[in-house]
Amino acid sequence: MKSASPCVGLIDVGSNSIKALIATREPDGRLVSVDHLTLDTRISQGLSAASPRLSEAGLTAGVHAVEQLFNLAQSHHVTSCTVVATNAVRGASNGAEFASRILASTGLPLRILSGDEEARLIGRGLLCDPALSRWQDFHVFDLGGGSLECLSFRGRHLVQAHSLPLGCVRLSERLVDDVTAPWSSESDQKVRDHVTKSLQAASLSFTSTSASTPAVFCSGTMTSARAILAEAEGLLPHEINPVLGTELLAAILKKIGDLPLLAARLTIPGLPERRADIMPTALATVLAPRRLRPLRGLPAFPLQFALGPGRRTTPLLASRQTLRIPSHTLRVTRLAIR
């Protein structure tokens, strides 16, 4: 869709994917998505090493993805295009080399966000989403390949922002012995224990939490879960009820985890090939915060989906995917565990 109003572009270099968002501002001040594209690149392989370093393959794939997305932005005649990078580049010893290659290839400087900047910009982006406009108090957990950002809002003001090294690629490399094997109870316990202890050690405050306080997850994992449900019901993803229960997420984890990666997991309709190895770790991470005492009583924890055709989170410095999760229908639960 072309826009008659001036557009700006954002390219977000994440650990697992690289995204572009083209947006414009309406006369009433609202930000509106004109176009978007996500490329699964996973430049973060080896993120858990003592001295993380982007591989040559990761560098090449990352630069190629940025070139492709910049071409998309230019097709909309953007007045400016910003490129930002998060945990994978931030923690890599050769992050500066990656920035130099992007500058040489596209002429665009790469802004490497600190963990605090990343968390706060995600929060700003979510406040732009009209689907969240009715909420005054809510929590946000943004799961990436390298980190988990944890935010709390009270009266629509950001009161807490933490960036923790709990991304699903990082945890898969550190805690899962064989990502191609069926998901074991040992791996599940290690991931959930590690996430829970890390959240507790970070001294996160959920003092405003009540039975009505929603928690929002921003994650390609949740988008994939919804796609799996859509395929199971023979529907398009946006036709699936955006409200998902933790029992349903656990059922999806069991369905995926019971299968070995190479033999069967890749055949699950709706599960992206490049996420098949880390999906169990990601789902276990999503489910882990419910163990925290302040969140344990939430009947609807986690998440609300706020995306779909023509409806997308539109921050100019944080392009993320937003979801919510109370309970879902028994029929879909049965489909998820077939």
pTM of the model: 0.79
pLDDT by residue (tens digit) across 270-279? Answer: 898 888 999 9
Is the pLDDT assigned to residue 70 strictly greater than 90? yes
Is the pLDDT assigned to residue 338 strictly greater than 50? no
Cβ–Cβ under 8 Å, residues 229 and 329: no
Please state, in angstroms and as integers, the Cα–Cα distance from residue 244 to each residue in 19, 137, 276, 308, following that order. 25, 20, 20, 15
**What's the CA gap between 122 and 152, in Å, rounded?**
11
- Quick one: average pLDDT of 158-173? 91
Unique residue bearing structure tokens 């990761």 = 58
Is the pLDDT assigned to residue 9 strictly greater than 80? yes
Is the pLDDT assigned to residue 337 strictly greater than 50? no
Instruction: Name the more confident of 172 and 337.
Output: 172
For residue 56, what pLDDT is reported? Answer: 93
Sketch the domain layout of the chain as residue ranges. Answer: 7-113, 116-336
Cβ–Cβ under 8 Å, residues 195 and 297: no
For residue 36, what pLDDT is reported? Answer: 92
Q: Given CATH 3.30.420.40, say whether it is the number of domain 7-113.
A: yes
For residue 131, what pLDDT is reported? Answer: 67
- Quick one: average pLDDT of 258-278? 88
Q: Establish how many alpha carbons lie within 13 A of residue 267's alpha carbon, considering only the half-sphere containing its beta carbon.
A: 6
Q: What is the mean pLDDT of the chain?
A: 80
Non-local (6+) Cβ contacts of 28 within 8 A are none
Is the pLDDT assigned to residue 47 strictly greater than 80? no
pLDDT by residue (tens digit) across 99-131? Answer: 999 999 999 999 999 988 888 888 888 787 776
pLDDT by residue (tens digit) across 194-232? Answer: 999 998 888 777 654 565 677 777 778 888 888 888 888
Is the pLDDT assigned to residue 132 strictly greater than 80? no
For residue 323, what pLDDT is reported? Answer: 30
CATH superfamily of this structure's domain 116-336 = Exopolyphosphatase. Domain 2 (3.30.420.150)
Name the strands in the sheet holding 7-13, side by side, starting at the edge strand that comes first in the sequence.
Answer: 31-40, 17-25, 7-13, 80-85, 110-112
pLDDT by residue (tens digit) across 288-332? Answer: 877 665 554 333 333 333 322 222 332 222 223 333 333 333 233
- Can the peptide bond before residue 302 be classed as cis, meaning omega within 30 degrees of 0? yes
